[in-house]
Chain A
Amino acid sequence: MRYLPLTPADRAEMLGVIGAASVDDLFVDVPAEARLSGPIAGLPAHASEMAVERHMSALAAKNLSAGTAPFFIGAGAYRHHVPASVDHLIQRGEFLTAYTPYQPEIAQGTLQVLFEFQTQVARLFGTDIANASMYDGSTACWEAILMASRITRKDRAVLSSGLHPHYAEVVRTMAKFTEDDIVSLKAQLVPQADDAAVIAAIDDKTSCVVVQYPDVMGRIPDLAAIADAAHAKGALLIAVVTEPVALGMIEAPGALGADIVVGEGQSIGVGLQFGGPYLGLFGCREKFVRQMPGRLCGQTVDAEGKRGFVLTLSTREQHIRREKATSNICTNSGLCALAFSIHLTLLGGEGLAQLAAVNHDKAQALIERLAKVPGVKVLNDAYFNEATVVLPRDAREVVRELADRKVLGGVSLGRLFPEDSDLHNGLLVTATETVTDEDIETFARELEGVLA
Chain B
Amino acid sequence: MNAVNASGWRPSMGEAGEGTSFKTASGDYGLMLEEALSFELGSSEKCGVDLDKPSRPAAAGLSKFLRKSAPALPGLTEPETVRHYTRLSRQNYAIDLGPFPLGSCTMKHNPRLNEKMARLPGFADVHPLQPQKTVEGALEVIEQLADWLITLTGMASVAMSPKAGAHGELCGLLCIRAALDARGEKRDVVLVPESAHGTNPATAAFAGFKVQSIPATPEGRVDVEALKAKLGPNVAGVMITNPNTCGLFEPEMKAIGDAVHAAGGYVYCDGANFNAIVGKVRPGDLGVDAMHINLHKTFSTPHGGGGPGAGPVVLSEALAPFAPLPFVSRGEDGRVHLVEEENAGEGHAQAFGRMVAFHGQMGMFTRALTYILSHGADGLRQVAEDAVLNANYVLRSCEDLLPAPFAKSGPCMHEALFSDAGLAEGFSTLDIAKGLIDEGFHPMTVYFPLVVKGAMLVEPTETESKAGLDRFIGSLRSLAQRAKDGDQSLHSAPHFAPRRRLDETLAARKPVLVWQGTPGEPGTPALSEFGGS
* Sampled A-B contacts (11; CB under 8 Å): A20-B392, A27-B280, A39-B378, A47-B373, A98-B92, A108-B498, A274-B127, A317-B198, A338-B304, A348-B46, A403-B134
Stretch of B81-89, B260-268, B417-425, B474-482 contacting A (4+ beta carbons < 8 Å): B81-89
User: Roughly how many angstroms separate A394 CA and B309 CA in the complex, as a whole number?
Assistant: 38
Q: Is the CB of A349 within 8 A of B199?
A: no
- Whether A108 and B91, one on each chain, are in contact in the complex, defined by CB atoms closer than 8 angstroms, is yes
- Complex CA gap A403/B212 in Å reads 53
Closest to B397 in A: A17
* Cβ-closest 5 pairs across A and B: A348-B75, A307-B532, A173-B353, A335-B304, A60-B122
* Complex CA–CA separation, A35 to B248 (angstroms): 16
Say which residue of B208, B277, B437 sits within 8 Å of A105 (CB atoms). B437
Residue of A nearest to B116 (CB): A53
CB pair B385–A23 under 8 Å, yes or no, is yes
Interface size of B by CB at 8 A reads 214
Question: B124 to chain A: closest CB distance in Å?
Answer: 6
Cβ 8 A contact of B97, one of A14, A94, A167, A273 = A94
A residues 260-292 with Cβ under 8 Å of B?
A: 264, 271-278, 286, 289
Say if the beta carbon of B512 comes within 8 Å of chain A.
yes
List chain A residues, Cβ under 8 A from B73. 120, 123-124, 344, 347-349, 352
Please state if B308 and A56 are interface contacts (CB–CB under 8 Å): no
- In the bound complex, residues from chain A placing their C-beta under 8 Å from that of B358 are 76-77, 136, 166, 274-276, 278
Closest chain-A Cβ to B291's Cβ sits at a distance in Å of 15
Chain A residue with minimal CB distance to B87?
A109
Shortest CB-to-CB span from B13 to chain A, Å, is 10
Is A5 a contact of B164 with CB atoms below 8 Å?
no
From B211, B281, B397, A35 is in contact (CB under 8 Å) with B281
From the candidates A63, A328, A347, A355, name the one contacting B170 in the complex (CB within 8 A). A328
B285 within 8 A of A: yes
Query: In the complex, how many angstroms separate the beta carbon of B375 from the nearest chain A beta carbon?
Result: 5
Q: Which residue of A lies closest to B147 (CB)?
A: A43
Nearest-CB distance from A42 to chain B (Å)? 7
One digit per residue, 1 when the CB lies within 8 angstroms of any chain A CB and 0 when it does not, for chain B 108-122 equals 011101011111111
Partner of B51, one of A87, A108, A358: A358
How many angstroms from the CA of A287 to the CA of B99 in the assembled complex?
Answer: 41
Quick one: closest B residue to A351, CB to CB?
Answer: B47
Map CB proximity to B onto A154-190 as digits: 1 under 8 Å, 0 otherwise.
0000000000101101101110111100000000000
Query: What is the bound-complex CA distance between A55 and B392, given in angstroms?
Result: 36
Query: Taking A252-B71, A342-B81 as contacts, is the C-beta distance between A334 and B500 under 8 angstroms?
Result: no
Instruction: Give chain B residues whose Cβ lies under 8 Å from the Cβ of A10.
Output: 465-466
Given the interface pairs A56-B120, A348-B75, A415-B342, the reply to whether A89 lies near B411 with Cβ below 8 Å is no
Within 8 A of B (CB), among A32-50: 34-36, 38-40, 42-47, 49
Known: A64-B135, A105-B434. A29 touches B71 (CB 8 A): no
Known contacts A177-B208, A318-B166, A327-B202, then 17 further A-B pairs from the complex at CB < 8 Å, ordered by chain A residue: A4-B382, A6-B466, A14-B390, A28-B410, A59-B141, A60-B137, A65-B126, A66-B130, A96-B94, A105-B498, A108-B499, A306-B532, A331-B306, A345-B84, A346-B49, A354-B47, A408-B127
Query: Which stretch from B226-234, B313-321, B359-367 is at the chain A interface?
Result: B359-367
Select from chain A the residue with minimum beta-carbon distance to B144.
A59
**A92 and B144 alpha carbons, distance in the complex (Å):** 29
Residue of A nearest to B140 (CB): A59
* A332 contacts partner chain B, Cβ-Cβ < 8 Å: yes
Check B513 against A330 for contact (C-beta < 8 Å). no
Give the residues in chain A near B375, CB-CB below 8 Å.
Answer: 1, 3, 46
Contacts of B494 in A (CB 8 A): 105-106
Q: Does B9 contact A (CB under 8 A)?
A: no
Residues of chain A in range 114-143 having any CB-CB distance to chain B below 8 Å = 115-116, 118-120, 122-124, 128-130, 132-133, 135-139
B125 adjacent to chain A (CB < 8 Å): yes
A110 near B305 (CB under 8 angstroms)? Answer: yes
Are A14 and B67 neighbours in the complex by a CB distance under 8 Å? no
Would you call A76 and B49 a contact (CB within 8 A)?
no
Q: How far is the CB of B255 from chain A (nearest CB, A)?
A: 10
Contact B513 A129 (CB under 8 A): yes
Given A4-B383, A93-B97, A289-B511, do A330 and B71 touch, yes or no (CB 8 Å)?
Answer: no
Contacting residue for B433 out of A34, A88, A103, CB 8 A? A103
- By a CB distance below 8 angstroms, the chain A residues around B225 are none
Q: Does B332 contact A (CB under 8 A)?
A: no
Contact A302 B411, CB 8 Å, known A247-B71, A248-B71, A271-B124: no
* Interface flag for A357 (CB, 8 Å): yes
A310 contacts B62, CB within 8 Å?
no
A43 to B174, CA, bound (A): 31
Q: Among B113, B151, B411, B501, point to the contact of A43 (Cβ < 8 A).
A: B151
Q: Does A353 contact B (CB under 8 A)?
A: yes
CB < 8 Å neighbour of A327 from B94, B96, B206: B206
When the two chains form their complex, are residues A109 and B124 in contact, meaning their CB atoms are under 8 A apart? no
Please tell me if the beta carbons of A358 and B122 are within 8 angstroms of each other in the complex. Answer: no
Contact partner, A79, options B125, B251, B382, B468, Cβ 8 Å: B125
**B120 partner residues in chain A, CB cutoff 8 A:** 56-57, 60
Q: Which of B409-467 contact A (CB under 8 A)?
A: 410-411, 413, 433-434, 437, 442-443, 448, 462-466
Once the chains bind, are A357 and B58 in contact (CB under 8 Å)?
A: yes
- Cα–Cα distance between A418 and B464 once the two chains are bound (Å): 51
Contact of B282 among A36, A90, A334 (CB under 8 A): A36
CA distance A28 to B254 in the complex (A): 15
A381 within 8 A of partner (CB): yes
Query: Once the chains bind, are B389 and A6 in contact (CB under 8 Å)?
Result: yes
Tell me whether A331 and B308 are in contact in the complex, defined as CB-CB below 8 angstroms, given that A18-B392, A351-B49 are known contacts.
yes
Q: Does B29 contact A (CB under 8 A)?
A: no
With a CB–CB cut-off of 8 A, which chain A residues contact B383? 4
Q: Are A307 and B533 in contact (CB under 8 A)?
A: yes
Shortest beta-carbon distance from B201 to chain A in Å:
4
Checking A5, A130, A313, A354 against B514 with a beta-carbon cut-off of 8 angstroms, the contacting residue is A130
Q: How far is the CA of A295 from the CA of B393 in the complex (A)?
A: 35
- Write the A296-316 contact mask toward B (1 if CB under 8 angstroms, else 0): 111111111111111011010
B183 within 8 A of A: no
Interface status of B339 (Cβ within 8 A of chain A): no
Let me know if A301 and B35 touch, CB within 8 A.
no
Of chain A, the residue at the smallest CB distance from B35 is A112
Of all chain A residues, which has the CB nearest B47? A351
Say whether B523 faces chain A, with CB atoms less than 8 Å apart: no
Q: Is the CB of B511 within 8 A of A313?
A: yes
Contact A295 B513 (CB under 8 A): no
Cβ A364 vs Cβ B59 within 8 A: yes
- CB contacts (< 8 Å) of B85 on chain A: these are 89, 92, 95, 113, 338, 342
